Structure 1
Amino acid sequence: MARKNDRFEKIYSQGALTKTEIWVDKETGVNYMFHEDGYAGGLTPLLDRDGKPIVTSILNS
């Protein structure tokens, strides 16, 4: 069950057994990609073509 003050918000999800998700840090706006395949997984910031983190505008909700 999600709490109102959770720091991260999932904004994209694809797949079932092999899963790819995009999460946004609601304090900084930085986007992260999480990929899971079986028992392995990884998390990395999404970067633009200049190597800078992709940042989503933070809206107070």
Structure 2
Amino acid sequence: MKNKKNKSNRFKVILHEVSDDGAGTKIIEDTETGITYLYCYGEGGAGLTVLLDEEGEPAVAPER
């Protein structure tokens, strides 16, 4: 049986903001690729999209 690499820490929340009505947004970074995503949620549902740079390419988090 193959050992599976623990991927529980692959995604890191960079920013999390919640409004008074319980809706919120998160900026999430994929720690393996550096690509950042915007996640929005609220009473009407939720959505996830990749953030893009000024050239339309996936935004990559700066080196830390």
TM-score, normalised via structure 2 length = 0.75
1:8 equivalent in alignment to 2:11 = yes
Quote the Cα distance in structure 1 between the aligned partners of 2:12 and 2:24: 16
Post-superposition offset of 1:19: 0.5
Q: Distance in 2 between matches of 1:21 and 1:52?
A: 20
| Sequence identity percentage | 35
Letter of the 1:36 partner, please give it: Y
Within 1, Cα distance between the matches of 2:13 and 2:62?
A: 15
Give the alignment's Cα RMSD to 1 decimal.
2.2
> Which runs of 4 or more aligned residues in structure 1 lie more than 4 Å from their structure 2 counterparts after TM superposition?
none
Taking the aligned partners of 1:9 and 1:21, their CA distance within structure 2 comes to 10
Greater Rg over alpha carbons, structure? 2
- The answer for unaligned runs of 5 or more in structure 1 is none
Aligned residue identity for 2:41: E
**Count of matched residue pairs:** 57
Q: Which runs of 5+ in 2 are unaligned?
A: 1-5
Per-residue displacement from partner, 1:2-25 (whole Å, max 9, x unpaired)?
x88511000001114110000000
